[in-house]
Every structure is written in structure tokens, then in C-alpha cells.
Amino acid sequence: MVSVDFELRKKVMDAHIGDTLKYCYQCNRCTDVCPVSQIAPDRYNPRGNIMASFLGINLFMGQKDNFGIWGCTVCDTCDEICPQKIELTEIFTVLKNMSIAAGEGPDYYTTQASTIYDAGKAIPSQPAIERRREQLGLPKVEEPDVSEVQKILNVTKLNKILNK
């Protein structure tokens, strides 16, 4: 029997566009245009995610395969096509944040987050990149203040998730 996860429903509905989900009439246009659904129709379905989010049916957490939410590349194609102007990707971000908070985020995501935490940016400077920039006559890239970046990320409690 399918049960309602009220906490999940509350979190989704508390998001700033949460209440727009009630205007979804399941036309399926979002899924029709979704490039991920076209390649992996059995594993990713934005229309289904919107329906489950609105009803509070937890198809997302505690799953062995979390591609059902992390498959979204945030290309925004569904947002643009939705006749009800629902910003689906905003809700998918809420689901992804819940997945991270539950310690279920995919490794590629936490590894990238860890790099940003340690270096203050996603792609740390490397001698080869610096040399190439110099050859091209480009200015040196200013290094970020890592402690400032970490201070901000600590407020979001990312350090706890990353065990930093």
C-alpha cells in the first residue's frame, strides 16, 4: 500500500513554488521533452516526480538507485514547455537537497562539493592551466578567499555532510 509522507509533502509545499503544483494536470509534456526521459524512460520521469511530490508519495529517499531525482540535468526544457508555467526544476532542487541532507547524494556531487570546500572553487588552479593562460596572454586568475567560502558553506552545514 502506498502511504503519504507528510514531511516530504510539507517540505515540497513550503518551497516557494510548491503551491503551483496543484495546477499540474499531468499532460506529460514535461516528460515528452525531457532529454533524460527520452534516453532512460524507465528510470527518470519529471511528470511522475511532480505528481509524487504533490501527493507526498516518497519515491525518492532511501532508494538504492537515486537516478530518479539525480538524473535531472537542470536543462530547464520542462520549465519552458509546461503550459501551467510550473518551474519543475525548483521542486527537483528541493528533492536533491533532501537527498543530500539524508546522506544519499551521489559521489560525483559530494566529491565536487568537497573540492569547492577545500579550494574555494570547482576547478582548482593547476600549473598547466596557468601556463596556457600565460601563453594566451590572459591575466592570472585571482585566488578565492577559501576561508570565506568555507564560512558560507559551514552556515549551510555542508561541512557536516562532507565530514569536514
Residues at the site binding ligand SF4, with contacts judged by CB under 6 A = 24-30, 34-36, 46-47, 50, 72-78, 82-84, 86, 88-89
Nearer to ligand SF4, 27 or 138 (CB): 27
Cα Rg of the chain, angstroms: 19
Nearer to ligand SF4, 69 or 153 (CB): 69
Measured from the CB of residue 10, what is the shortest distance to ligand SF4 in angstroms? 20
Measured from the CB of residue 102, what is the shortest distance to ligand SF4 in angstroms? 20
Nearer to ligand SF4, 37 or 58 (CB): 37
Distance from C-alpha of 13 to C-alpha of 136, rounded to nearest angstrom: 50
CB 120 within 8 A of CB 144: yes
Nearer to ligand SF4, 52 or 88 (CB): 88
Measured from the CB of residue 129, what is the shortest distance to ligand SF4 in angstroms? 30
Measured from the CB of residue 105, what is the shortest distance to ligand SF4 in angstroms? 17
